[in-house]
């Protein structure tokens, strides 16, 4: 309650500082003086009320616009469906090294959800360079009000393998994902950018913390 009252007082002070507020207040005062000096000149009381309200609303909108311009932009989250991070696996020592990222897609709508594209645009391991553009392996369709796992995969080049090895990670490993999606929900074509998903996973060929703890026990 105290915070609400404090916010109202601050908002009121900001409104009073606006020139629009004082302009319409001056119009009210001029009209009142004119009525006193010239008795034949009469304005209905409603006119005074309207002038005051216009001044308040106009200056209030200016304050709102000023505040909104300084607020940090919030990432858009999809309300039609949700993507939850499950796990990842990085195979460094296979004939063709690769990374796989597993996500869980949930369709909240009564229409079929079709992923036209799903790209992990940034995959960041602690202490390592970002791996980019890990794409959906197969076209995925989620039936109405259902969910399923989806897989993004790509091969790793030699420099990426060496960069990961140099970080000296220990399993399980944590990473941060940025995801871009393009989907069809019925006839709607939707695009979303989903930032800062945290996920745990495994890198083959590096020490395993869980095994080390088990052997020590």
| DSSP β-ladder status, 188-204 and 81-91 | parallel
Across the strands, what pairs with 85? Answer: 103
> Which two three-digit tokens encode residue 33?
């003086």
Across the strands, what pairs with 30? Answer: none
pLDDT at residue 96 greater than cutoff 70 = yes
Where are the domains positioned within the chain?
Answer: 2-69, 81-216
Average pLDDT over residues 103-129: 90
Model pTM greater than 0.85?
A: no
Cα distance from N-terminal residue to C-terminal residue, the chain:
55
**Are the C-beta atoms of 140 and 148 separated by less than 8 Å?**
yes
CATH code of the region 81-216: 2.60.40
pLDDT at residue 163 greater than cutoff 80 = yes
- Polymer length in residues for the chain: 217
Position 212 scores a pLDDT of: 47
**Are the C-beta atoms of 15 and 63 separated by less than 8 Å?**
yes
Lowest mean pLDDT among 52-56, 146-150, 156-160: 52-56
pLDDT at residue 59 greater than cutoff 90 = no
Average pLDDT over residues 149-153: 95
As a whole number of angstroms, the distance between CA 64 and CA 19 comes to 15
Burial of 75 (0-12, 13-18, 19+ CB in 10 A): exposed
As a whole number of angstroms, the distance between CA 82 and CA 103 comes to 10
pLDDT at residue 19 greater than cutoff 90 = no
Average pLDDT over residues 45-57: 75
**Are the C-beta atoms of 170 and 207 separated by less than 8 Å?**
yes
Position 210 scores a pLDDT of: 47
């Amino acid at each position: 309650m105290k915070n609400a009252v404090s916010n109202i007082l601050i908002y009121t002070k900001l409104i009073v500082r606006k020139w629009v507020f004082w302009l319409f207040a001056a119009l009210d005062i001029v009209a009142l003086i004119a009525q006193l000096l010239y008795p034949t000149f009469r304005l209905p009381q409603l006119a005074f009320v309207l002038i005051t309200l216009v001044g308040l609303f106009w200056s209030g909108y200016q304050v709102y616009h000023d505040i909104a311009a300084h607020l940090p932009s919030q990432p858009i989250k999809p309300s039609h469906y949700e993507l939850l991070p499950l796990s990842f696996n990085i195979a460094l020592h296979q004939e063709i090294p690769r990374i796989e990222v597993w996500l869980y897609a949930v369709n909240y709508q009564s229409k079929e959800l079709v992923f036209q594209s799903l790209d992990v645009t940034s995959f960041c391991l602690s202490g390592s360079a970002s791996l980019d553009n890990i794409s959906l392996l197969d076209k995925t369709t989620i039936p109405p009000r259902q969910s399923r796992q989806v897989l993004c995969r790509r091969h790793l080049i030699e420099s990426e393998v060496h960069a990961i090895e140099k970080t000296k990670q220990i399993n399980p490993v944590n990473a941060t994902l940025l995801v871009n999606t393009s989907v069809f929900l019925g006839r709607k074509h939707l695009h979303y950018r989903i930032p800062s998903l945290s996920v745990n996973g495994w890198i083959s060929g590096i020490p395993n913390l869980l095994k080390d703890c088990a052997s020590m026990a």
